[in-house]
Amino acid sequence: MMTTSAGRTLLVDPAGHGAYPTLGEAVLDAPDGACVSIAAGTYAETLELAGRRLTLRAAGGAEVLLDGTGADVPVLLARGGTLAVHGVNVRGGDAAAVQAENAELTLAGCTVQAGRGTGVAVRGPGPLTIRDVTITGAEQGLVMEGTSGVVENVTIEDVAADGVVIGLGADPVLRSCKISGCGQRGIYIYQHARPSVRNCRVSRTGHAAIVVAHRSEPVLKHTSVRDARGVGIEVGPGCGGSIEACDIGNTAEPAIRLDSAATARIVAEPTELLGGASPLDTLLTELDGMVGLPGVKAEVRSLVDEIQVNGWRARAGLATSALSHHLIFAGAPGTGKTTVARSYGKLLRELGVLPRGEFREVSRRDLVGQYIGHTAEKTAVVFEESLGGVLFIDEAYTLSRQSGSGGDFGQEAIDTLVKLMEDHREEIAVIVAGYTDEMRQFLAANPGLSSRFAKTVEFEDYTPDELVRIIARMVTAGDYELDPAAAPALTAHFRRLAAEPGFGNARDARKLFEAVRKAQSGRLRALGRIPEPGELRELRRADVLAAIGRSSG
């Protein structure tokens, strides 16, 4: 038989010469610290590991299934020690599919199915790490008792009872998890548990979506609850913690039920909590959440206030003034003009001004034809197709004669727009965007053009610190983690770029983020092995410096 030393790899392949025919035989031979690499196939085996330190990994991304169907013991049982499982699928029977007792457990890139048992059960201090895992068809999806660790990007669906159970003082962090199709509760938190549940989604539960009991103190933040037969969130007597900016809809009343003896704090009202924040307020909150742009946000809020008050006056039978919803967005590229225009359309829809609020972005080539008369037809078609929403014309100044790019053909588009904007002023919002100076030339192209727009909104360049914050959001959205030591280098880089002609603002931030990812990819490829999940998430200061060097070269 093949032997190995700690840190080496043992291969399991029933059809391979010199390899182990079964997983059990490989595990018996493997010393602590070894990795058992498993070839594609279905293995009707169960493993009990006591005090071992092992890694089980699907070889080269192969489809591997550990099948314990019919067994009354866990497919994988770790008592003490350390067990890491990567890319291996597990199907359980009447017992838990994966069970860890006082062991350090890592599951990554796995699919877990169970019959009458629990999908994954962890008891003891851990720590545990569960990432990119799907758990289906179990009695209970994931049970954590007395455990610390991280559960991230985990999907739990179609379970007979509770989706997630957290108890006995457990304090794991749940991030970006989806829990749906639970016969009872989506998340049950009990007996002094203190988990942090962030950016998760809980839907389609037979009872309350989230239940907090027995003096537990969770932090529930930016979590969505939908389609529960019971209340959205129920907090029992003596329970504390906080509920912050959770979005709750289509549940039994009330959306949140706090026992009179509960001390939990509602830090920000959920969207539908007790008739709380409306969709309009939610959209304004999203706008406020954008990095920078204080003047732009104030202008948009002012417009919303004016439209809303005008509507209230109309319903009260009072005189109202006609309002134009057409705007000029002036500023350099990459300052958020397109993003704000999309938000503006959604706000107009919620205000009842536009029936659809859909967003359509066009440029000169979409409006200007190849001969006199063709342009008017093209422009009219685009305009009519955009009715009920927002028509966003980027670099609109290229239509004017002063731009020197197209003469009367571009002018024909402007003249057509002027008439259509007046004829359909209440059926569409036209937003023209471009550099501040060039937009002044654009307005001079037709005597009636400037009067068609309600106001000009100025978009200032982002500061270096704001661009670092934008990079940080890209890092989080991409499921990366950035070394804090890289921040000064980023700030200095953006300070240099801001002083150069053609500064692209957020576009330059996006380009740099992509360059940092490429630098990380090159570094990881040079390792000569498959990186661990933590390494795949990590963006080092050296990656940032390499990316800055390439962009400056």
- Label each residue of 60-101 as H, E or C: HHCCEEEECCCCCCCCEEEECCEEEEECEEEECCCCCCEEEE
Between CA 49 and CA 441 the distance in angstroms is 76
Domains of the chain, start order: 1-139 (2.160.20.10), 140-277 (no CATH), 280-459 (3.40.50.300), 464-552 (1.10.8.60)
Q: How confident is the model at residue 230 (pLDDT cuts 50, 70, 90)?
A: very high
H/E stretch holding 350: helix 337-350
Residue type, 520: Q
Please answer whether residues 233 and 210 qualify as being in contact, where contact means their C-beta atoms are separated by less than 8 angstroms: yes
Residue with token string 């609020």: 357
**So what's the pLDDT on residue 552?**
57
Between CA 8 and CA 33 the distance in angstroms is 8
pLDDT digits (tens, 9 = 90+) for 54-76: 999 999 878 999 999 988 899 99
pLDDT digits (tens, 9 = 90+) for 537-546: 899 999 999 9
pLDDT at residue 435 tops 60: yes
**So what's the pLDDT on residue 143?**
97
Choose the weakest-confidence range: 33-42, 302-311, 368-377. Answer: 368-377
pLDDT digits (tens, 9 = 90+) for 470-505: 988 888 888 888 988 898 999 999 998 888 887 888
Q: How confident is the model at residue 218 (pLDDT cuts 50, 70, 90)?
A: very high
* Runs of H (alpha helix) within 444-532: 464-477, 487-498, 506-525
**So what's the pLDDT on residue 490?**
93
Burial environment of residue 409 by CB neighbours within 10 A (0 to 12, 13 to 18, 19 or more): buried
Q: How confident is the model at residue 408 (pLDDT cuts 50, 70, 90)?
A: low
Q: What pairs with residue 84 in β-bridges?
A: 55, 106
pLDDT at residue 87 tops 80: yes
**So what's the pLDDT on residue 268?**
52
pLDDT at residue 243 tops 80: yes
**So what's the pLDDT on residue 315?**
67
pLDDT digits (tens, 9 = 90+) for 257-300: 888 889 988 875 444 444 445 677 777 877 888 888 888 988 88
Average pLDDT, the chain: 87
Q: What angle do CA 356, 362, 363 make, to 5 degrees?
A: 160
pLDDT at residue 314 tops 70: yes
pLDDT digits (tens, 9 = 90+) for 136-171: 999 999 999 999 999 999 999 999 999 999 999 999
